[in-house]
Structure 1
Amino acid sequence: MEITENSETKTWLGSSISDICKGKGPWSFTINPVNVCKYHAVLYNLPVTLTCPPKPHHSSQPQHWNEDHVRMPYSDKNLYPVVENGRDVIKSRWLIIKETLSKPINNSKELEAAIMKYNNSLPRFSALHYFFEEILSEDEVEYFFSNLLPKIIKLALQLPEIVPGSLPLLKKNHNRSVSLSQLQIASLLANAFLCTFPWKKDVASSYPGVNFVRLFAAHGRPKRHTCVSEKFKCIMHYFRRVTDRSPVGTMTFERKFIPRGNMPRWDACEHNLGNTRIHINSEGTIEDDGQGFLQGYGCVQEEIRFVICPELIISRLFVEQLGDHEAIIVTGPERYSRYSGYGDSFKWEGNVHDQTPVDEYGRRRTSICIIDATRFNKPSDQFYPSAILRELNKAYVGFSSREKENLAPVATGNWGCGAFRGSCELKSLIQLMACSIAGRDLIYFSFGNEKLRDEFYNMHLFLANNRYNYGGFYVVFQYWAFHQKICTPIFNKLFFDNKKQPTIKKFFGVSPKLKENNTPSTSKETKKVDNSGTQINDNRNGGTSECKSPPATEVMDDVDEDIIAATPPEDLAYKGKNAKMKFKLPTEQTNDKMPKTDIAELIDILDRNANKSREQDKAGSFLAELDKLKVIRNKESNESKSYIVEVEKPEVDSCTTNESVSLLNSPTSESKTSKRKITDYFQLKPSKSS
């Protein structure tokens, strides 16, 4: 189905948001509950009233300094060496922090000096100095150091009372959740701003770290000066809001892990890709137009979302780097700032009052899925099977849910594209497949790319009308891995014979242009479906639809790391030697030469008789059936010889099925049969000349 003139009057294609929400609105979908258990730590007391901040939960045996919990700054084991009266003395770091921050601080240089007294291994705060000396006015600087900074310090020093319990670490390869109140998060973030959390080398290698050191020192590239300053504005605005009025809500951080063995078999899935409804919009943003849905982010998008919703930053404190089969789901974050731009053009645009409804647990009905995409230095590497499989599994982990009914759709966009050099076309189809298997609909924002919107919509119709399943489509991805290009005869034989439809080769902008298949369809009229489920008639004898090549991918150099760092994909085979591997599809000639005996029937006999005794079945053994097998292979007419595959009989005909299995599996078996390999039973002999 071609895009009609309707696409000129509206920015979206596919199913409407109202249809996807079934007319009930975006807040009607299922949300994961808060259940206090071994795998879900709740650091506040239930229930939540929303009239005041929830009271903190006091652990009977709090753990503030071990390998399984966050090492709190106020722990009595947090010691720091200082020099007093010419002698080296070990003192409580928390005591030093309180003494240092209780003194007046009038400018950014004094703030840096104060922080260095209890954390002296930090770089210079060049970006922080630039912000206060070059960006803010004198009145704004005066307001911060005389009003806002003392409030931040007070909030930070209240940490022992606000978060008295143990904050567990969300470690690799474990499913675990943590729920915190917004006030607890604010106190933790105030400590992060003042860089009070202890830095340990062994922990820093696997946890991103929450101290604001990277932001304070992020002045390496001149073109990033403005962008970093705008992020400072977002952070200062957040602290202004939470110190003027304490927040009363809560949030949940869930780490999801699915073992490799429990991942979908993408090559064997038989569900129709067209069963997933999609809404594709060239305008709008995930955070503005995806409210109430599961919102997917990665890289630069994630970085922006974290500064307009700074409570997300605290995940860096207790979430270990993500593996290939892991994701983070955050429920309940509040948005504090408006913004414009993207990447280096990011700009803070003022305050936002988040009107998102709150659930019974005190969380805003906003769910964010954090899934880290792979960064490709060579864009063609993303078409290798291991790379595609990694992204499919990563998206599936993020989009899947323990709940099976009334799941919210996924609101996402060009995940892993731009700075990470992913293909928008490939990533859109990967997310479509992951949504389909996870049982969710897809709401896709192309961020102004109308061509991607139109081509993705046409591609979805093509897959739906021709009833392609996941397994068949996954073969296409595998095929690219070996060829790095689409071969006309094989590709058309696999998928596009007699189909005047937008093809995948055009969707990916493959060049050179392939020859069109002009074979007429055997059916003059066929039924198709659009995304709303309505059947439409289409004459396939018409012209082909054109999907032009996608625009060049935006590339950004020296991008900052992910907010929650990902484990480097060391196990992915992205080497060019894989591209040299080839395979051949069976032709009619080779099909004629294949054995006529039903091998599956022989295996059936083996499975059926494996546990039978000798008295039950002597003649039905596996080897006895092999004795009857003769396969004749005929050579082409111009060859003078043909070959016969004969089966040599075992020395003992009466061996039972169990003895046969022993013979196959154990060369040291004490069976009376000859101890020979199964390959010895097949000999290739030349037949007599015809």
Structure 2
Amino acid sequence: MSKQSDHGKRNDSSQMKALLSPGDSKSCPKENTEKHDKQRTNTCEASFSSSSSSSSSSRCVQGGGSGQVESEWRRHREDVTVSLQDLKRLPQCNIRLGHLAFSRTHTVLIDVDIYNCERQLRAQDGRDIWQSNFVKMPCSMSSVINKTGFTMQTERKLRWTVIAKQLAKLAKKPSATVEDVEEAIMKYNPKYKGQWSFDALSSFVKCIPKTENYFSPLFPKIAALALNLPGYIKKAIPLLQRGHTASITMSQVQIACLLANAFFCTFPHRNTSGPNAEYHNYPSINFTSLFGNWSERKKEKLRAIMHYFNVVTNDDTKPTGLVTFERRFLKNTDIPNWRGSQELMPKLYVTSHGTIENDGTGMLQVDFASHWIGGGVLSSGLVQEEILFLMNPELIVSRLFTEKLGDNECLIITGSQQFSIYSGFSDSFEWAGPHADHLKRDEWARLQRQILAIDALHFRHRGEQYNMIKVTRELNKAYCGFKGHGHDEPDIATGKWGCGAFNGDPQLKALIQLMAAAKAKRGMALFTFGDRKLEEDLQQIYSLLVQKEVTVGKLYELLEDYCSDVHRQRGSHMELFDFIGNTVGGHRSLL
């Protein structure tokens, strides 16, 4: 047997051998080519045995000494992907919510009895709880500021007394400057004087044309909204902590009030992020980092944020619904046995055109999240997650109570409103104007929009991801989010999750999401964001997997084989789709 044939056999791992028909591999005779005067080898490999057939057929493929193979699996294959209209959206789902109710794991910040009877949104009565597993509110009686008077003695004042005085002073003005905003904020954050900068906010107001510049009269309106906090939020807000499944439902007006307080930087104990800080495991919420260090990115971010406040402070346009934030924790007992999974491939729509937020409206829309929810939305970050949070600013409030996501956790937000549209990405991002959201609402007055935040692993080196521990982590992460509460759930709208700056392999990430969707019994729309090659390649490999009736478990074993091959090659290796195509389609590389 030739060396090349031996090498080809060594590429077959023990898992793959179980999937190949026995006794079909054999060496092929050598032949000389006049043009190259080199040896070439014909190698026959058994075709992949489908789950529905006990028979298998073998095919031969020529492989050159360089290890290249002709990818015949790509040719003349019928496309079995579905159209976008074949996938299910929330309006088509028969989800019966019943009466709005609170429970041990579901906190509701409005009065459920009044809502269920009269459909009125009123704050639920409750009490302030100044404990480590609740949001520490600026209006709490336990929140104090130590001030040094003329006698040099330290005086303790209720923090809200100082805050309310400054906000009331601003709210009475017909218009206010950035200097007025800065002065108010520093009165109750004196320890940061000289550390916090407001140059971005100041430059923003100066550079926006007068025809668009409504900010001076808007600042007092935001202050007035923030002042309503004690009346709008009467019940303690629990933290959505690691290792626990729990949810919070609140009104859009309550969210606006909380974000107005974030704008004026009123939340205590949330201004430091060091390892010893009380909230070191939570993202920032006060807007200080957005106000400093001017950049074009900050300008466009502030345009989106200020437009949001302009809408919610207007009695004619302020929103009137509810939003639910659900942290989901996947218990060890709920983690699938991927190798033993018998599910076939789900419905798939793939395109290089369109976007998740537009074409995936009504589906479970994937946020390519950071484990710090919202990522760099309040600083310099400006990729998919940050843009999503700027178009739907109500998502930002999740940073107030959502602890850093663990490996088996996700966050699902139902009912958020889109306020803006945009163009570009990263440095080319621009706020493109207002958006009128005409989505219907469900029984709980939530807009029929579901956003799923799942954080992919960040690989410093691309080769790190070809490791089954990490592949399985990503499978569990995606499944945690895709797993529904019942059988009538919307399908999934996603894209190149964990690619780009996170160095994920788009082919591997596409298959991981496809496997998780299959396990969750949901269809999937994948938007490649202009990547035509990925669109075509995924259509081809998906069609092969469907036609050969490859299960999730068999695909998992193929990924095991591929990872083993990558590590044996120590560098150059064929693409994942070619590896799977050549194996499932009856060919193996002679690398």
Give TM class, smaller chain: 0.7 to 0.9
Which one-letter code corresponds to 1:181 in the other structure?
Answer: S
TM-superposed CA distance for 1:260, in Å, is 2.6
Deviations along 1:196-215, one digit per CA (max 9) or x if unpaired, are 00025533211112111221
Q: 3-state DSSP class of the match of 1:397?
A: helix
Shift of the 49–497 alpha-carbon distance from structure 1 to 2, 3 Å rule, reads: closer
Alpha-carbon separation, structure 1, partners of 2:415 and 2:464 = 37
Give the alignment partner of residue 520 of structure 2, picking from 418, 433, 438.
438
Alpha-carbon separation, structure 1, partners of 2:160 and 2:528 = 48
Give the alignment partner of residue 72 of structure 1, picking from 131, 137, 144.
137
Which one-letter code corresponds to 2:319 in the other structure?
Answer: P
Give the alignment partner of residue 488 of structure 2, picking from 384, 401, 406.
406
TM-superposed CA distance for 1:26, in Å, is 5.2
Give the total of aligned pairs.
483
Shift of the 496–194 alpha-carbon distance from structure 1 to 2, 3 Å rule, reads: closer
Pairing 1:496-515 to 2, within 5 Å after superposition: 500=585, 514=589
Pairing 1:217-232 to 2, within 5 Å after superposition: 217-219=292-294, 225-232=295-302
Shift of the 328–316 alpha-carbon distance from structure 1 to 2, 3 Å rule, reads: same
Deviations along 1:456-503, one digit per CA (max 9) or x if unpaired, are 0111111111122222211232234334268799x99x97779657x8
TM-superposed CA distance for 1:93, in Å, is 1.0
Give the alignment partner of residue 210 of structure 1, picking from 282, 285, 291.
285
Alpha-carbon separation, structure 2, partners of 1:459 and 1:50 = 53
TM-superposed CA distance for 1:131, in Å, is 1.3
Q: Which residue is equivalent to 2:461?
A: 378
Q: Is 1:303 aligned to residue 362 of structure 2? A: no
Q: 3-state DSSP class of the match of 2:250?
A: strand
Which one-letter code corresponds to 1:28 in the other structure?
Answer: Q
Alpha-carbon separation, structure 1, partners of 2:365 and 2:314 = 29
Comparing 40-49 with 258-267, greater Cα deviation is found at 40-49
Which one-letter code corresponds to 2:109 in the other structure?
Answer: L
Q: Which residue is equivalent to 1:84?
A: 149
Pairing 1:278-357 to 2, within 5 Å after superposition: 278-299=348-369, 300-357=383-440
Pairing 1:51-200 to 2, within 5 Å after superposition: 54-59=121-126, 62-87=127-152, 88-104=154-170, 106-120=176-190, 121=192, 123-133=196-206, 135-138=207-210, 141=213, 143-145=214-216, 147-199=217-269
TM-superposed CA distance for 1:110, in Å, is 3.4
Alpha-carbon separation, structure 1, partners of 2:505 and 2:582 = 26
TM-superposed CA distance for 1:375, in Å, is 1.1
TM-superposed CA distance for 1:53, in Å, is 6.0
Shift of the 39–344 alpha-carbon distance from structure 1 to 2, 3 Å rule, reads: same
Q: Which residue is equivalent to 2:7?
A: none
Q: Which residue is equivalent to 2:273?
A: none
Q: Which residue is equivalent to 2:536?
A: 454
* Sequence identity (%): 36
Shift of the 218–173 alpha-carbon distance from structure 1 to 2, 3 Å rule, reads: farther
Q: 3-state DSSP class of the match of 1:148?
A: helix
Alpha-carbon separation, structure 2, partners of 1:247 and 1:52 = 14
Q: 3-state DSSP class of the match of 1:426?
A: helix
TM-superposed CA distance for 1:52, in Å, is 8.2
**Contact 2:321 2:446 (C-alpha < 8 Å) held by counterparts:** yes
Shift of the 412–486 alpha-carbon distance from structure 1 to 2, 3 Å rule, reads: farther
Q: Which runs of no fewer than 5 residues in structure 1 stay unpaired?
A: 8-12, 220-224, 506-513, 517-690
Shift of the 93–475 alpha-carbon distance from structure 1 to 2, 3 Å rule, reads: same
Which one-letter code corresponds to 1:262 in the other structure?
Answer: D
Alpha-carbon separation, structure 2, partners of 1:124 and 1:247 = 32
TM-superposed CA distance for 1:98, in Å, is 1.6
Alpha-carbon separation, structure 2, partners of 1:495 and 1:352 = 43
Deviations along 1:160-201, one digit per CA (max 9) or x if unpaired, are 001111111111100111000000000000000000000255
Which one-letter code corresponds to 2:404 in the other structure?
Answer: Q
**Contact 1:49 1:362 (C-alpha < 8 Å) held by counterparts:** no
Alpha-carbon separation, structure 1, partners of 2:357 and 2:348 = 18
Pairing 1:225-240 to 2, within 5 Å after superposition: 225-240=295-310
Alpha-carbon separation, structure 2, partners of 1:249 and 1:154 = 21
Alpha-carbon separation, structure 1, partners of 2:466 and 2:159 = 51
Q: Is 1:18 aligned to residue 85 of structure 2? A: yes
Q: 3-state DSSP class of the match of 1:412?
A: strand
Alpha-carbon separation, structure 1, partners of 2:132 and 2:526 = 40
Deviations along 1:196-237, one digit per CA (max 9) or x if unpaired, are 000255332111121112212254xxxxx2222111011000
Alpha-carbon separation, structure 1, partners of 2:222 and 2:490 = 37
Alpha-carbon separation, structure 1, partners of 2:95 and 2:393 = 22
Alpha-carbon separation, structure 2, partners of 1:339 and 1:407 = 29
Bigger Cα Rg = 1
Q: Which runs of no fewer than 5 residues in structure 2 stay unpaired?
A: 1-72, 271-275, 370-382
**Contact 1:294 1:409 (C-alpha < 8 Å) held by counterparts:** yes
Alpha-carbon separation, structure 2, partners of 1:364 and 1:320 = 25
Q: Which residue is equivalent to 1:655?
A: none
Alpha-carbon separation, structure 2, partners of 1:127 and 1:52 = 41
Q: 3-state DSSP class of the match of 1:264?
A: coil
TM-superposed CA distance for 1:440, in Å, is 0.5
Taking structure 2 as the reference length, the TM-score comes to 0.76
**Contact 1:173 1:257 (C-alpha < 8 Å) held by counterparts:** yes
Pairing 1:442-591 to 2, within 5 Å after superposition: 442-484=524-566, 500=585, 514=589
Shift of the 385–5 alpha-carbon distance from structure 1 to 2, 3 Å rule, reads: closer
TM-superposed CA distance for 1:325, in Å, is 0.3
Per chain length, whose mean CA-contact separation is higher, i.e. which structure has more relative contact order (CA < 8 Å, sep 6+)? 2
Alpha-carbon separation, structure 2, partners of 1:334 and 1:368 = 11
Which one-letter code corresponds to 1:124 in the other structure?
Answer: S
Alpha-carbon separation, structure 1, partners of 2:583 and 2:552 = 21
TM-superposed CA distance for 1:3, in Å, is 7.9
Q: Is 1:269 aligned to residue 341 of structure 2? A: yes
Shift of the 406–235 alpha-carbon distance from structure 1 to 2, 3 Å rule, reads: same
TM-superposed CA distance for 1:113, in Å, is 2.8
Shift of the 85–368 alpha-carbon distance from structure 1 to 2, 3 Å rule, reads: same
Q: 3-state DSSP class of the match of 1:330?
A: strand
Q: Which residue is equivalent to 1:361?
A: 444
**Contact 1:407 1:439 (C-alpha < 8 Å) held by counterparts:** no
Q: Is 1:44 aligned to residue 44 of structure 2? A: no
Q: Is 1:415 aligned to residue 497 of structure 2? A: yes
Taking structure 1 as the reference length, the TM-score comes to 0.66
**Contact 1:480 1:486 (C-alpha < 8 Å) held by counterparts:** no
Give the alignment partner of residue 253 of structure 1, picking from 300, 318, 325.
325
Shift of the 388–499 alpha-carbon distance from structure 1 to 2, 3 Å rule, reads: closer
Which one-letter code corresponds to 1:101 in the other structure?
Answer: L
Q: Which residue is equivalent to 2:13?
A: none
**Contact 1:256 1:397 (C-alpha < 8 Å) held by counterparts:** yes
Q: 3-state DSSP class of the match of 2:340?
A: coil
**Contact 1:253 1:331 (C-alpha < 8 Å) held by counterparts:** yes
